[in-house]
Homo-oligomer: A and B are copies of this chain.
Amino acid sequence: MGEEKIKEILHQAGLKYTPGRAALIDFLWRASRPLTQEEISLGLKESGLNKVSIYRALDSFLQAGLVHRLESGDRVWKFAFCGCGSRGHCHPHFICRACGKVECLTKVHLPEVAASAQGYIIEEQEVYFKGLCPGCS
Protein backbone atom coordinates (compact mmCIF):
# COMPACT_ATOMS: atom_id res chain seq x y z
CA MET A 1 0.00 0.00 0.00
CA GLY A 2 1.31 3.47 -0.84
CA GLU A 3 2.88 5.64 1.83
CA GLU A 4 0.52 8.50 1.09
CA LYS A 5 -2.51 6.26 1.50
CA ILE A 6 -1.19 5.00 4.84
CA LYS A 7 -0.52 8.56 6.02
CA GLU A 8 -4.08 9.46 5.12
CA ILE A 9 -5.51 6.44 6.94
CA LEU A 10 -3.54 7.12 10.11
CA HIS A 11 -4.28 10.85 10.05
CA GLN A 12 -7.99 10.21 9.64
CA ALA A 13 -7.83 7.87 12.63
CA GLY A 14 -6.06 10.52 14.69
CA LEU A 15 -2.90 8.41 14.98
CA LYS A 16 0.70 9.40 14.37
CA TYR A 17 2.52 8.12 11.31
CA THR A 18 5.53 6.00 12.27
CA PRO A 19 7.66 3.62 10.22
CA GLY A 20 6.56 0.71 12.38
CA ARG A 21 2.87 1.40 11.95
CA ALA A 22 3.29 1.94 8.22
CA ALA A 23 5.03 -1.44 7.91
CA LEU A 24 2.34 -3.05 10.02
CA ILE A 25 -0.56 -1.70 7.97
CA ASP A 26 1.17 -2.60 4.73
CA PHE A 27 1.91 -6.11 5.93
CA LEU A 28 -1.66 -6.72 7.08
CA TRP A 29 -2.97 -5.30 3.83
CA ARG A 30 -0.75 -7.53 1.69
CA ALA A 31 -1.60 -10.61 3.78
CA SER A 32 -5.34 -10.24 3.17
CA ARG A 33 -6.00 -12.86 5.80
CA PRO A 34 -6.08 -12.74 9.59
CA LEU A 35 -2.63 -12.94 11.18
CA THR A 36 -1.41 -13.57 14.71
CA GLN A 37 1.06 -11.32 16.53
CA GLU A 38 3.66 -14.03 16.04
CA GLU A 39 3.10 -14.11 12.28
CA ILE A 40 3.28 -10.33 12.18
CA SER A 41 6.49 -10.25 14.21
CA LEU A 42 8.07 -12.75 11.82
CA GLY A 43 7.00 -10.77 8.79
CA LEU A 44 8.20 -7.48 10.25
CA LYS A 45 11.38 -8.78 11.86
CA GLU A 46 13.54 -6.48 9.74
CA SER A 47 11.49 -3.51 10.88
CA GLY A 48 12.21 -4.64 14.46
CA LEU A 49 8.86 -3.45 15.76
CA ASN A 50 8.47 -4.74 19.27
CA LYS A 51 5.79 -7.27 20.21
CA VAL A 52 4.24 -4.87 22.72
CA SER A 53 4.19 -2.06 20.18
CA ILE A 54 2.46 -4.36 17.72
CA TYR A 55 -0.27 -5.15 20.23
CA ARG A 56 -0.65 -1.48 21.13
CA ALA A 57 -0.83 -0.42 17.50
CA LEU A 58 -3.35 -3.14 16.74
CA ASP A 59 -5.46 -2.01 19.68
CA SER A 60 -5.65 1.52 18.35
CA PHE A 61 -6.35 0.24 14.84
CA LEU A 62 -9.16 -1.86 16.28
CA GLN A 63 -10.67 1.15 18.05
CA ALA A 64 -10.50 3.07 14.80
CA GLY A 65 -12.20 0.29 12.85
CA LEU A 66 -9.14 -0.30 10.67
CA VAL A 67 -8.73 -3.96 11.59
CA HIS A 68 -10.84 -6.89 12.70
CA ARG A 69 -9.80 -8.98 15.65
CA LEU A 70 -10.92 -12.57 15.70
CA GLU A 71 -10.67 -15.54 18.01
CA SER A 72 -10.80 -18.83 16.18
CA GLY A 73 -10.95 -21.22 19.11
CA ASP A 74 -7.30 -21.49 20.19
CA ARG A 75 -7.21 -18.36 22.39
CA VAL A 76 -4.87 -16.64 19.94
CA TRP A 77 -6.12 -13.43 18.42
CA LYS A 78 -5.87 -12.88 14.69
CA PHE A 79 -5.95 -9.47 13.06
CA ALA A 80 -7.00 -8.54 9.56
CA PHE A 81 -6.93 -5.19 7.83
CA CYS A 82 -10.34 -4.12 6.73
CA GLY A 83 -10.88 -0.38 6.89
CA CYS A 84 -14.66 -0.78 6.92
CA GLY A 85 -14.76 1.67 9.83
CA SER A 86 -16.48 -0.67 12.26
CA ARG A 87 -14.98 -2.56 15.17
CA GLY A 88 -17.42 -5.31 14.24
CA HIS A 89 -17.06 -7.59 11.28
CA CYS A 90 -18.50 -6.60 7.94
CA HIS A 91 -18.21 -10.11 6.55
CA PRO A 92 -18.21 -13.65 7.99
CA HIS A 93 -15.02 -15.58 8.68
CA PHE A 94 -14.29 -19.20 7.93
CA ILE A 95 -12.28 -21.44 10.27
CA CYS A 96 -11.00 -24.80 9.00
CA ARG A 97 -11.09 -27.48 11.70
CA ALA A 98 -8.42 -29.50 9.86
CA CYS A 99 -5.66 -27.00 9.02
CA GLY A 100 -6.77 -24.19 11.34
CA LYS A 101 -6.65 -21.63 8.57
CA VAL A 102 -8.85 -18.58 8.98
CA GLU A 103 -10.24 -16.72 5.98
CA CYS A 104 -12.21 -13.55 5.41
CA LEU A 105 -15.29 -14.33 3.35
CA THR A 106 -15.33 -10.87 1.84
CA LYS A 107 -17.66 -11.99 -0.92
CA VAL A 108 -20.38 -12.80 1.60
CA HIS A 109 -21.89 -9.60 2.91
CA LEU A 110 -23.71 -9.54 6.21
CA PRO A 111 -27.00 -7.71 6.56
CA GLU A 112 -26.18 -4.13 7.64
CA VAL A 113 -27.07 -4.94 11.22
CA ALA A 114 -29.76 -7.29 12.40
CA ALA A 115 -32.81 -5.43 13.58
CA SER A 116 -32.72 -4.63 17.28
CA ALA A 117 -35.46 -6.30 19.28
CA GLN A 118 -36.95 -6.41 22.76
CA GLY A 119 -34.78 -3.65 24.15
CA TYR A 120 -31.51 -4.95 22.71
CA ILE A 121 -29.45 -2.46 20.72
CA ILE A 122 -27.35 -4.44 18.28
CA GLU A 123 -24.34 -2.45 17.10
CA GLU A 124 -22.12 -5.12 15.61
CA GLN A 125 -22.22 -8.74 14.65
CA GLU A 126 -19.57 -11.38 14.33
CA VAL A 127 -20.19 -14.51 12.27
CA TYR A 128 -17.94 -17.56 12.12
CA PHE A 129 -18.39 -20.54 9.85
CA LYS A 130 -16.50 -23.65 10.84
CA GLY A 131 -15.80 -26.72 8.77
CA LEU A 132 -13.39 -27.79 6.04
CA CYS A 133 -11.65 -25.45 3.63
CA PRO A 134 -11.30 -26.29 -0.09
CA GLY A 135 -7.77 -27.60 0.51
CA CYS A 136 -8.86 -29.98 3.29
CA SER A 137 -12.21 -31.24 2.02
Contact = CB atoms under 8 A, between A and B. Distances in A.
Interface of A: 71, 73, 75, 88, 94, 97, 114, 116, 118-134, 137
B124 A127 contact: no
23 contacts: A71-B73, A75-B75, A97-B123, A116-B131, A118-B134, A119-B133, A119-B134, A120-B132, A120-B133, A120-B134, A121-B131, A121-B132, A121-B137, A122-B130, A122-B131, A123-B132, A124-B130, A124-B131, A125-B128, A125-B129, A126-B128, A126-B130, A127-B128
Stoichiometry, copies per complex? 2
A26 to B, nearest CB: 27
Nearest to A87: B130
Contacts of A133: 119-120
Which of A88, A119, A130 has the most chain B CB atoms inside 10 A of its CB?
Answer: A130
A97 B120 CA distance: 12
Given A120-B129, A123-B130, 5 more contacts: A88-B130, A119-B134, A120-B137, A121-B137, A122-B129
Contacts of A120: 94, 129, 131-134, 137
Contacts of A71: 71, 73, 75
A4 B75 CA distance: 36
A126 B127 contact: yes
